[in-house]
Structures are given as C-alpha cells and as structure tokens.
C-alpha cells in the first residue's frame, strides 16, 4: 500500500492506493496554521489513522508547497512559511520510523499524471500548475526530475518571452523581478491584466472573466485571447529546452477549455521546429493529482 500526504496551507489530505492505483482510503484534516510541531503531529496522526483503518503498513510520500534543499536538507521556497528552514524530512522519518519521500507539490502533480493519468506512457512530461501561482514539474522516463537546486521545471519566474512593447517592463513580482511569467499567467495575474487593460475600477476574478467570455463579452474574450498568446509563448520557450511529449495543465486555470485547442495553434510560431508534436492536455485526476502523486513517490 502507498500512502500519499498532500500538505497544504489550509488542509492536509491523506490517501492510500493499492499497487494498481485503486483508492483504498482518503481523509482530509485541517492544517495546523503557523506551527511546525503541530504540523508534524498532524501528519503522523493521519498516517497512523490510515494504517489502522486499512490494517496495512504503507510506504509514505509527501507533497509540500516548497522543496527540500539538497544543500541543507531543510525546507525552502514554501508559502507555508512556518515550514521554512525546518528539517521536515528527517523529523518525519524519525517519527514514522521509516524512509519516506518528500517532493514539491507540482512534482507530485506531474508524477500522478505521468504514472496513471493524462500523460501515461509519455517519455518526457512537463506538468504545470497555474492557479494562484505558476509552478511546474518535470518527469522523464518514469522518474521525477528534482535537479541540482531542486527547482527543475520552475518556469514561473522567468520573464515573459518575446514580449510586445506594451508588455514591458511588466508588473513587479514578489520575487523581486519585473514581468515574470507568473505575473501574467497566474489567476490573479490574468485578473489584474483584464482590469488594467479595460480601466476597470474593481477587479473581477479570473473565474468571472472566463464566465463573461463564455457569455459573449468581447472585452473578456479579448483578454482570454491575449492570455492564450502569452501562455503559448511561455510554453514554447519550455518546449525549446525540454522538448516534452506532453504538457499537462493543472490548477484553476486548467479549467479553461479553449486553451487546449487555441494554444497549440499559436506556439508553432515560437518553437524552433517545422512541426510541433507536443500535446497539451487537461489533467485526468484533477484536484486529486497532488495527493495521488505523493503516494506514487
Ligand atoms: Zn517572479
């Protein structure tokens, strides 16, 4: 049995899968806010609970919002800031009395979709999560790629490639740079651009803009077309480096159906190839991909 834990900022989800990927058990608990010791205790309690309910001892994989630094073995880049600098891996191994795997949640997403999801059997898979942020993970021939700095696939803080004059210098990003891909493609980035472009007094949410576009609102449709163009350019720069067979989209923005038809029509202009056979696909496991991927680790 494989136990997966998805450690989120507001909830911790646990799942147990059998070897065929069949779900045996699932439980969701509140995430202890701001307290590292309580977070450790909650994870241990969840694993113990799953094992006592199923009566099986499992392997344990954990997805976290951040990553374990290969240099210090401590958590870095986590938006759940109480985890930063903590030896989460070591502490959980000693509390759970076994070897465990911990990876970034975007990596877990790509592991899930490449193992038994929308990118099953593909050689090279780039998984993208576009929601409140813009993350990414890389999976090559059965292996999740972590990288020397544990940031493989993190494309969100590169600048928007092939920018128009009107896209420069770009909005300031929390990372300190201007015009990062994330400032354009994240849900809040999309909402901000629509507001600014149309001189709106109040911002609409990304979801509201998409609904307006579907209802025939021309300014919302124009915002969506600009978004597709930026996503196409941004993914083309990834294709030029990784040349993936499949790109799987996840996160809230992956629910926009027009992306799957329109973006591949646009990215050919920027990919250094006469033909682009890379496929852009929707996730198969949706919101469950993070916790399923943690189990597959
Ligand atoms: Zn940035």
Of the pLDDT bands very low, low, confident and very high (cuts 50, 70, 90), residue 9 is confident
Q: How far is the CA of 239 from the centre of ligand 1 (A)?
A: 20
pLDDT for position 23:
95
Question: Is the N-terminal amide bond of 169 cis, ω within 30° of 0?
Answer: yes
Q: Distance from CA of residue 202 to its chain's centroid?
A: 28
Of the pLDDT bands very low, low, confident and very high (cuts 50, 70, 90), residue 277 is very high
Domains 2-109+288-296 and 120-281 share a fold: yes
Residue 125 has pLDDT above 80, yes or no: yes
Quick one: average pLDDT of 5-19?
A: 92
Residue 281 has pLDDT above 80, yes or no: yes
pLDDT digits (tens, 9 = 90+) for 28-39: 999 898 899 999
Four-residue CA torsion sign, 171, 151, 270, 244: negative
Helix (H, G, I), strand (E, B) or coil at 285: coil
Residue 153 has pLDDT above 80, yes or no: yes
- In this structure, are strands 246-250 and 124-130 parallel, antiparallel, or unpaired? parallel
**Domain 2-109+288-296 in this protein, CATH class:** alpha beta
d(CA 215, CA 191): 17
Phi-psi region for residue 204, left (φ > 0), alpha (ψ -120 to 50) or beta? beta
Quick one: average pLDDT of 123-148?
A: 94
For 178, the token pair is 């201007």
d(CA 153, CA 248): 13
Residue 132 has pLDDT above 90, yes or no: no
Q: How far is the CA of 292 from the centre of ligand 1 (A)?
A: 28
d(CA 14, CA 30): 11
Q: How far is the CA of 157 from the centre of ligand 1 (A)?
A: 4
pLDDT for position 8:
85
The DSSP symbol for 120 reads: T
pLDDT for position 165:
96
The DSSP symbol for 26 reads: E
Q: How far is the CA of 185 from the centre of ligand 1 (A)?
A: 11
Q: Distance from CA of residue 195 to its chain's centroid?
A: 25
Residue 172 has pLDDT above 80, yes or no: yes
d(CA 178, CA 155): 14
d(CA 46, CA 58): 12
Of the pLDDT bands very low, low, confident and very high (cuts 50, 70, 90), residue 204 is very high
Q: How far is the CA of 136 from the centre of ligand 1 (A)?
A: 14
Residue 60 has pLDDT above 80, yes or no: yes
pLDDT digits (tens, 9 = 90+) for 65-101: 889 999 999 999 887 889 999 999 999 999 999 999 9
Q: How far is the CA of 80 from the centre of ligand 1 (A)?
A: 18
**Domain 120-281 in this protein, CATH class:** alpha beta
Of the pLDDT bands very low, low, confident and very high (cuts 50, 70, 90), residue 55 is very high
d(CA 235, CA 250): 14
Quick one: average pLDDT of 123-137?
A: 93
Map out the domains of the chain as residue ranges.
2-109+288-296, 120-281
For 144, the token pair is 């999740």
Q: How far is the CA of 134 from the centre of ligand 1 (A)?
A: 10
Q: Count CB-CB contacts under 10 A for residue 5.
A: 26
């Amino acid at each position: 049995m494989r136990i997966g834990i998805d450690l989120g900022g507001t909830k911790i989800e646990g799942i147990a899968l059998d070897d065929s990927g069949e779900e045996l058990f699932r439980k969701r608990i509140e995430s202890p806010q701001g307290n590292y010791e309580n977070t450790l205790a909650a994870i241990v309690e969840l694993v113990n609970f799953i094992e006592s309910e199923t009566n099986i001892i499992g392997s344990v994989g954990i997805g976290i919002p951040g990553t374990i630094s290969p240099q210090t073995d401590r958590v870095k880049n986590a938006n759940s800031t109480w985890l930063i600098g903590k030896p989460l891996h070591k502490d959980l191994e000693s509390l759970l009395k076994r070897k465990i795997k911990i990876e970034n949640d975007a990596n877990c997403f790509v592991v899930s979709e490449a193992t038994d999801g929308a990118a099953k059997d593909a050689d090279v898979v780039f998984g993208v999560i576009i929601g409140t942020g813009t993350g990414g993970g890389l999976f090559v021939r059965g292996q999740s790629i972590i990288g020397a700095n544990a940031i493989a696939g993190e494309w969100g803080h590169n600048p928007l490639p092939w920018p128009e004059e009107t896209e420069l210098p770009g909005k300031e990003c929390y990372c300190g740079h201007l015009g990062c891909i994330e400032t354009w493609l994240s849900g809040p980035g999309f909402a901000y651009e629509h507001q600014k472009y149309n001189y709106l007094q109040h911002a609409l949410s990304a979801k509201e803009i998409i609904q307006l576009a579907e209802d025939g609102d021309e300014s919302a449709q124009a915002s969506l077309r600009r978004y597709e163009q930026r996503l196409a350019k941004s993914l083309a720069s990834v294709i030029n480096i990784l040349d993936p067979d499949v790109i799987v989209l996840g996160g809230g923005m992956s629910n926009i159906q027009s992306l799957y038809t329109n973006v591949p029509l646009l990215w050919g202009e920027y990919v250094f190839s006469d033909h682009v056979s890379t496929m852009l696909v929707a996730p198969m496991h949706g919101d469950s991909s993070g916790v399923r991927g943690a189990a597959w680790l």
